Amino acid sequence: MNPELFFTKNTKAALKNDPPGEWMPPVPDYCIPLSAGYPAQSLVPYNEMNEAVCALIDEEKNLPFQYLGSKRVNTVKKFVRERLVERGVVLLEKEILVTAGAIQGIDLIARTFIDRDTLVVVESPSYMEGLEVFRNYTDHFITVPIDENGMQTEELEKTLKDRKEKNLPMPKLVYTIPSFHNPTGTTMSIDRRRHLLELASEYNFLIIEDDAYGELYFEERPTPIKAMDSGSRVLYLGSFSKTIAPGLRVGYVAARSDLIEPLAWFKKDLDHPFAEATLGSYLIQTDMKKRFEMLRKVYQQNCKTIISSLEKYMGEIATWQQPSGGYFVWVNIPGINTSEILVEAMQAGVSYVPGKHFFVHEQEGLSYLRLSFSFVSREEMVSAVEILSQVVKKHLNK
């Protein structure tokens, strides 16, 4: 029996891509995982979650275990709405769809708006799992380079203008991570955010604004593109993974109701009501503003540590962007193919994500790697950068 006969055209096309998660081989236990885009273990509030679950079950009995029923589920939407209003995004609860993580939001948007021949604009580089999802639905991408001020919207404008003049297909969606970008750590300037909105209106496309790291700024709080979206062209994605716990799998999409309503056709009840009720219970008992402030301080300090280690051990062989928030620093090591030395680096005791996985055109990312400063302790971070520098120097001297 040939399973191929049973797959849809879309599935067959998707299966031509690498399997999910292919970008990272298993990391041995002895390795310091600078590859991990996870919150620090000490910052996952497991004691408070324990209390939240107990309060939830004590008070609501069987309800959180039903398909629907826990009052606390509504707390999540209410919290999201109030927090977005504080960040300048004014919307109604019906304009928010709670999802199983931001990644389900990306998948639902892709299913709803992308046909196999749809053209999607992505940043170069971009979040590798986002790319994986889009590739499940289309093979057609326009890539726009990033610099220290985020997506180069001037380049996007040139491309759009040129395509229009030549009567070529135009993109329907632009996917951007404007604040504390994964993997580069950069933030899009306010002028470019405005410019992108102008382009969306002129060339008639939707913007997917992925703000998974938006709360984790070090000094200046960026204004979401959604806060300036007078034409309602932005589908805004948020997540509780980076600020509370990724295992809960709770995120959301916020957009004009007639844009997000169709997503519910595909979401059905494939989110996690028990996790949402637990999160609701946790949100009721937690001062989230204080928590966000605490997280910002810890991650800012972690970032300082990794940057000073890079300066100390790799200052002469590598360059990087200074992150102003988020989890990651993006390092360029000219003359090194970071995929080729990953196994050796892991044997020496450090892992990272090779740059090529963040690009539609992999060869553009060969000399880059992404280091995370969120997960491991500061002491481990310093030793990991030292180990990495030794592996790299050995190859540069060959």
Buried b (16+ CB within 10 A) or exposed e, 149-161: ebbbbebbbebbe
Q: Which is nearer to ligand PLP, 224 or 349 (CB)?
A: 224
- Cα dihedral value 374, 375, 377, 380, nearest 10: -110
Q: Does 102 bind ligand PLP (CB under 6 A)?
A: yes
37 is a site residue for ligand PLP (CB under 6 A)? yes
Measured from the CB of residue 279, what is the shortest distance to ligand PLP in angstroms? 12
184 part of the interface to ligand PLP, by CB under 6 A: no
> Which of 246, 256, 261, 339 lies at the binding interface for ligand PLP (CB under 6 A)?
246
Amino acid 3 reads P
Q: Using CB positions, name the residue nearest to ligand PLP.
A: 101
Looking at residue 239, the DSSP 8-state letter turns out to be: E
Beta carbons of 95 and 254 less than 8 angstroms apart: yes
User: Which of 212, 216, 235, 382: binder of ligand PLP (CB under 6 A)?
Assistant: 212
- State whether the Cα torsion 147-151-154-159 is positive or negative: positive
Structure tokens at 359: 């690009």
- Among residue numbers 255 through 274, which ones bind ligand PLP (CB under 6 A)? none
Q: Print the binding letters for residues 332-361 with ligand PLP: x by CB under 6 A, - otherwise.
A: ------------------------------
233, with CB counted inside 10 A (0-12, 13-18, 19+), is: buried
> Is 90:143 a contact under the CB 8 Å cutoff?
no
Closer residue to ligand PLP, CB minimum distance, 313 or 352: 352
Residue 179 as a binder of ligand PLP (CB under 6 A): the answer is no
Region of 9-17, 98-106, 134-142, 158-166 interacting with ligand PLP (CB under 6 A): 98-106
**Among 43, 64, 127, 150, interactor with ligand PLP by CB under 6 A:** 127
Instruction: Report CA dihedral (145, 150, 153, 158) to the nearest 10 degrees.
Output: -20
239 binds ligand PLP (CB under 6 A): yes
Chain residues in the site for ligand PLP (CB under 6 A): 37, 101-103, 127, 177, 182, 210, 212, 239, 241, 246, 251
